Amino acid sequence: MRHRDYTKNLARTTSHMMSMRRNLASSLLQHGKITTTFQKAKDVQRFVERLITLARKNTLHARRQVLSRLHDRIMVAGHDPKEDPNVKLNSREQVVGGPTVVQKLFNEIAPSYADRSGGYTRIVRLARRRIGDGGQRVVLQLVDPKEAPRTKSTAVTTRKRRARARYAMADKVAKASSPAPSADATPPQADEPAAEQQPQADAPATDGPAEEKSE
């Protein structure tokens, strides 16, 4: 059972999966782009971008981490090592030295992405599928360092337009279902403020009873 197993092994053993990932990553860093299937490209894309992020630190510890994850190999231009002047051969014409993938990663690739916080690779789908199983073929390539990073688009997408239409319809239905005020109903009147009672003038005080007027 694959309970809590979030790693995609692509129907391969662990050793086979790691070897395939390292080979594809080394080829991508060496040539700048590779052609593979979509599932392999998604797996290698995460692996390569983490390596580039580590290489941007440019420390001894980061270099050792990259070497432990990506087995280094000598880069040979072309198919014949004799034609590459940067490759060293021994007396048996075996490759014994030359520029490596890790050196290119730390000296060329990582410094070019110093101003980019992520998104070093790109996956481009191809129209023609793989012969046999019909797998989706893609091109995994390194993004041009001079290319500006993609910003968030401000255009109204189809999803936003449909959401706004749903909200507008919901408001319309809510207004139609609410009871309308009747014509006979009188609008409520505001309470009038109580009239202030003015104090009555006090009658003049007299010392005794009032005298009756004689005719």
Q: Which residues of the chain have pLDDT under 50?
A: 215
How far is residue 12's CA from residue 37's CA, in Å, rounded to a whole number? Answer: 15
Q: List 142's β-bridge partners, or say none.
A: 121
Of 68, 145, 69, 147, the closest CA to residue 109 belongs to 145
What does the DSSP 8-state code read for residue 209? P
How far is residue 65's CA from residue 32's CA, in Å, rounded to a whole number? Answer: 22
Whether pTM exceeds 0.75: no
The reported pLDDT for the residue numbered 215 is 47
pLDDT digits (tens, 9 = 90+) for 41-100: 999 999 999 999 999 999 999 999 999 999 888 888 877 777 788 888 888 877 778 888
**What is the helix (H) or strand (E) element at residue 36, kind and residue range?**
strand 33-37
Of 9, 3, 111, the closest CA to residue 52 belongs to 111
How far is residue 8's CA from residue 43's CA, in Å, rounded to a whole number? Answer: 8
The architecture that CATH gives domain 14-142 is Alpha-Beta Complex (3.90)
